[in-house]
C-alpha cells in the first residue's frame, strides 16, 4: 500500500509536540520509522553533555540485539560527527542525509578532493560496522543534536526520493521536538530548584517558538515587557493590589502565550499571501495546543489563563471559548492588548508594520469591543506619556 508521506509527517509532528520526555519521543519516532518505512533496524544517537559524545539512546530492529543501549558512545570529534557538523552530506549529495550507496559511488568521482575522499572512506567504514544504509543528522539551528541510522529495507530495494525526503523532514521535526522536550525537562527541574532559573528556562522555551516563526523575532519579549508595564500602572491607577503570584502568572503567561504555534506548520506561520479558511483555523488552534502542551506542569496552572484566553474578545466574538466582559481573566485581557499592539506595530509576512499612531487609534476604536476598556485606558495613558 502506498504511504501518504505528507499525512504521516503532519500526524507525527502533531503527536511530537505533546511528548516532553526526549527518550520517549525518540523511541516513538524510531518505532514509527521501522514500521512505516519497513526498515530492518533504526537507531538514534543523541548528544550527551556528560560523556561529551553521541550516545546510542534508542535502537529497534535487528541491530538492537547486537548493540547494547547507553554503552555505545561516539566521540564528538569522531570523523562521522565532523562530517555532519561540517554539513558535508549537503555539499556532496545535495541533502542532509548520507546514503551508503551514494557515498560508495562518490568515491569514484574525480571532483572530490583527496582529503574529502579519505574522510568519506572512514565514514563508510563506520556505516558498514553499524549495518547502516542511510544516516540522517538532526540539527537544531546549526547544533548537531544527534543522528539517525537506518538499516536496509525489508524488501531489499533502494530508498526512493519520496522516502528520503519524508525521513529527512521527519528528522528535522524530531530535532525541534527533542530540543523542546529537553527544555521542558529543564523547566520542570528548575521549578524544583530555583525560581529565577525557571524563568530563564521559560525564556529559552519562548525563544524556541520564535525560531519557528521567522517574522516574530522579539515579539514574545516585547509582549511580556508591555504586559508587565500595563499591570504596574493598573495597580497604581486603581489602587489594586496585585500579589506576586498574579505578576508571576502574567510574566510566564505572556512569555508562553504563543507556545501553541509549535504545533502549527511553518509554511502557514510564514505565509506571505492571505490565509485560507483552513489555514486560519489551524492558527486559531494555537491557544488550546499551548494549553495541552503546558498542562502537565501543574505549577503553570495560573499562567495557562493567559495562554488559553489571550484571543478572547470583550464582546464575546473571540476564541477558543467565546468568553466576554468580566468572564475573561485579567491576565488574558492584558496580554491581548500587548499582543495586538506588537502584532500591528511590527512587520508580518503578509503586510508591513502599521504606523504607531494608526495602531493606537485602532486599539482605541476597539475598546469595549475587542479589548477590555479598563486595560485599554491604562495602555493609552502609557502611550500618551511616551512610555510605549
Going along the chain from its start, the domains and CATH numbers come out as 5-177 (3.30.450.40), 194-384 (1.10.3210.10)
Burial of 257 (0-12, 13-18, 19+ CB in 10 A): buried
Sign of the CA dihedral with 125 first, then 43, 262, and 199 last? negative
Q: Which pLDDT belongs to residue 27? A: 81
> What average pLDDT does this structure show over 190-199?
61
pLDDT averaged over every residue in the chain: 82
Strands 53-61 and 41-48 turn out to be: antiparallel
How large is the average pLDDT for residues 143-147? 88
Residue 165 scores a pLDDT above 60: yes
Tell me: pLDDT of 195 over 70.
Answer: no
Over residues 325-329, mean pLDDT: 96
Residue in 219, 220, 230 with CA at minimum distance from that of residue 334:
230
Q: Is 384 helix (H, G, I), strand (E, B) or coil?
A: helix
Q: Is the pLDDT of residue 139 over 90?
A: no
Say which residue the cell 499571501 belongs to: 273
Quick check: helix, strand or coil at residue 267?
Answer: helix
Q: Which residues pair with 323 in a beta bridge?
A: none
Query: Do residues 294 and 307 make contact, with C-beta atoms less than 8 angstroms apart?
Result: yes
d(CA 24, CA 30) in angstroms, rounded, equals 10
Query: What's the CA gap between 244 and 197, in Å, rounded?
Result: 17
Q: Against a cut of 0.85, is the pTM above it?
A: no
Name which of 56-70, 105-119, 126-140 the model is least confident about.
Answer: 56-70
| C-alpha cell of residue 185 | 525537562
78 φ, ψ (degrees, to nearest 5): -65, 155
In the predicted model, what is the mean pLDDT of residues 18-39? 76
Mean local confidence (pLDDT), 4-22: 66
Which pLDDT value is given to residue 10?
62
According to the model, what pLDDT value does residue 336 have? 97
Backbone angles phi, psi at 45, to 5 degrees: -105, 125
215: pLDDT strictly greater than 60: no
More confident call, 143 vs 250: 250
Q: Which residues contact 63 (CB under 8 A, 6 or more apart)?
A: 40, 41, 43, 130, 131, 149, 151
pLDDT top residue among 128 and 28: 128
> For residue range 242-268, what is the model confidence (pLDDT) as tens digits?
778 898 899 999 989 998 888 888 788
pLDDT at 263: 84
Dihedral angle computed from the Cα positions of residues 259, 340, 354 and 284, in that order, rounded to the nearest 10 degrees: 60
Largest CA distance in the chain: 79
Nearest in space to 334 (alpha carbons), one of 374, 275, 380: 374
Angle (CA) 166 169 173, round 5°: 130
Q: What's the first-to-final CA gap in the chain, in angstroms?
A: 59
Amino acid at each position: 500500500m502506498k504511504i501518504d508521506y505528507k499525512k504521516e509527517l503532519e500526524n507525527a509532528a502533531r503527536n511530537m509536540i505533546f511528548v516532553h520526555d526526549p527518550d520517549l519521543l525518540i523511541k516513538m519516532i524510531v518505532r514509527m520509522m521501522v514500521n512505516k518505512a519497513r526498515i530492518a533496524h533504526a537507531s538514534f544517537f543523541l548528544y550527551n553533555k556528560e560523556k561529551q559524545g553521541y550516545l546510542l539512546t534508542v535502537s529497534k530492529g535487528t541491530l538492537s540485539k547486537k548493540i547494547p543501549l547507553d554503552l555505545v558512545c561516539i566521540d564528538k570529534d569522531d570523523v562521522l560527527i565532523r562530517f555532519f557538523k561540517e554539513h558535508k552530506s549537503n555539499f556532496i549529495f545535495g541533502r542532509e542525509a548520507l546514503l551508503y550507496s551514494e557515498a560508495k559511488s562518490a568515491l569514484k568521482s574525480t571532483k572530490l578532493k583527496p582529503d574529502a575522499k579519505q574522510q568519506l572512506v572512514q565514514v563508510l567504514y563506520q556505516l558498514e560496522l553499524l549495518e547502516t544504509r542511510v544516516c540522517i543528522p538532526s540539527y537544531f539551528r546549526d547544533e548537531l543534536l544527534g543522528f539517525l541510522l537506518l538499516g536496509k529495507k525489508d524488501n531489499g530495494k533502494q530508498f526512493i526520493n519520496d522516502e528520503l525526503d519524508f525521513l529527512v523532514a521527519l528528522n528535522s521535526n524530531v530535532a525541534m521536538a527533542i530540543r523542546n522536550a529537553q527544555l521542558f525537562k529543564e523547566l520542570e527541574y528548575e521549578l524544583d530548584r530555583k525560581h529565577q532559573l525557571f524563568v530563564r528556562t521559560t525564556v529559552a522555551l519562548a525563544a524556541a517558538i520564535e525560531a519557528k516563526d521567522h517574522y516574530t523575532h522579539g515579539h514574545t519579549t516585547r509582549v511580556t515587557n508591555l504586559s508587565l508595564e500595563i499591570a504596574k500602572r493598573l495597580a497604581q491607577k486603581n489602587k489594586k493590589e496585585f500579589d506576586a503570584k498574579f505578576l508571576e502568572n502574567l510574566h510566564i503567561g505572556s512569555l508562553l502565550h504563543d507556545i501553541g504555534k509549535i504545533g502549527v506548520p511553518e509554511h502557514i506561520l510564514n505565509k506571505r499571501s492571505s490565509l485560507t479558511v483552513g489555514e486560519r483555523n489551524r492558527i486559531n488552534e494555537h491557544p488550546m495546543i499551548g494549553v495541552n502542551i503546558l498542562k502537565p506542569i501543574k505549577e503553570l496552572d495560573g499562567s495557562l489563563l493567559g495562554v488559553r484566553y489571550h484571543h478572547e474578545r470583550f464582546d464575546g466574538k473571540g476564541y477558543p471559548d467565546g468568553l466576554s466582559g468580566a468572564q475573561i481573566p485579567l491576565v488574558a485581557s492584558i496580554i491581548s492588548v500587548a499582543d495586538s499592539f506588537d502584532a500591528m506595530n511590527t512587520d508580518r509576512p503578509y503586510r508591513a508594520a502599521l504606523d504607531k499612531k494608526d495602531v493606537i487609534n485602532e486599539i482605541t476604536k476597539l475598546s469595549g469591543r475587542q479589548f477590555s476598556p479598563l486595560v485599554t485606558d491604562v495602555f493609552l495613558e502609557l502611550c500618551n506619556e511616551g512610555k510605549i
